[in-house]
Amino acid sequence: MATLVSFHAHPDDECIGCGGVLRKAHEEGHRVVLVVATRGEHGEVPDGFLDEGEPLWRRRVAETHAAAEILGVDRVEFLGYTDSGMMGADTNDAPGSFWRTPVDEAAQRLAAILTDEHADVLTCYDDNGGYGHPDHIQVHRVGMRAAGLAGTPRVFQNTMNRDHLARGMRAVADSPEGALFELPDLDENFGKPESVIDTAVDVTGYLGYKRAAMRAHASQISEQSFFLAMPDEAFAHAFGTEWFLGSRAPRGYGRSAGSDGTGTDLLAGL
């Protein structure tokens, strides 16, 4: 048995980017640990969704634990920082925001968990945090530093395959269902080009868990959202593979290496 620690910025990020990998690791008998930097205090929520006097962060923490149970997570930890909001917002520089926290300070907190868990694998985000959100960029910086402090041998940077998603979105836009929901814009700030991605994990067998975990984050992911409104075939295209940059993984990492040299399993050989 190995231990996988997955580090994310906000509640709901874990199921979108790594939900399949987490459930896959669980079903293969590995220990799965989820670490979240913030409690998502600045997420948007529809009027009347929360109970009177209920802070958003409390609901989002509860949603995280519900999603984690679906995904087979053994331990959930929050680092205790505050959601920084979108890039350029005043909340970026608020006291306690994750974005303004010194990297080494946050990395020490994460490294303590990695050490306590004897982590074999850490996931974080790519250097642009997937789409330029300040907290996501900070997850990359803190995650890479923490892995060095703790001596975690394998680090995979979760990203999005811009070219793969663009192909799928063109197909959906041309379908009868394309008018039912709004598709996000994909620019050069979104994910990474296919040519630089070296790790692709097939999680189609776990999509039911992944979609259920998204649904558990009801304050952020509504039934009308891009994530849940798309038909099953489109969802499988968009979320059936989870993409990573394996900059600190062993070359080929054994039996899971694809014929093109790409990795297909974060925990191969462990």
Say which CATH number the domain at 92 has. 3.40.50.10320
Q: Is residue 104 part of a domain?
A: yes
Q: Is residue 243 part of a domain?
A: yes
Q: Is residue 12 part of a domain?
A: yes
Say if strands 154-159 and 241-245 run parallel, antiparallel, or are unpaired: antiparallel
Q: Is residue 100 part of a domain?
A: yes
Q: Is residue 155 part of a domain?
A: yes
**Which pLDDT score, from 0 to 100, does residue 190 have?**
85
Q: Is residue 263 part of a domain?
A: no
**Which pLDDT score, from 0 to 100, does residue 155 have?**
96
Provide, for the chain, the percentages of residues in helix, strand and coil under a 3-state DSSP scheme, each rounded to the nearest 5.
45, 15, 40
- For 4, the 3-state DSSP assignment is strand
How many domains, in total, are found in the chain?
1
Q: Is residue 261 part of a domain?
A: no
Indicate if the alpha-carbon torsion angle 234, 192, 75, 256 is positive or negative: positive
Q: How many alpha carbons lie under 13 Å from residue 252 in its C-beta half-sphere?
A: 5
Q: Is residue 223 part of a domain?
A: yes
**Which pLDDT score, from 0 to 100, does residue 49 have?**
93
Other Cβ atoms closer than 10 A to 51: 9
Q: Domain of 217?
A: 3-256
Q: Profile the chain (270 residues) by mean pLDDT over runs of 10 residues.
A: 97 97 98 98 93 96 98 98 95 96 98 98 96 96 97 96 80 56 67 92 96 97 87 88 81 41 80
* End-to-end Cα spacing for the chain: 7
* Distance of alpha carbon 171 from the chain centroid: 25
**Which pLDDT score, from 0 to 100, does residue 86 have?**
93
Residues sharing a CB contact under 8 Å with residue 165, sequence separation 6 or more, in sequence order: 186, 191, 238
Cα-trace Rg, the chain: 18
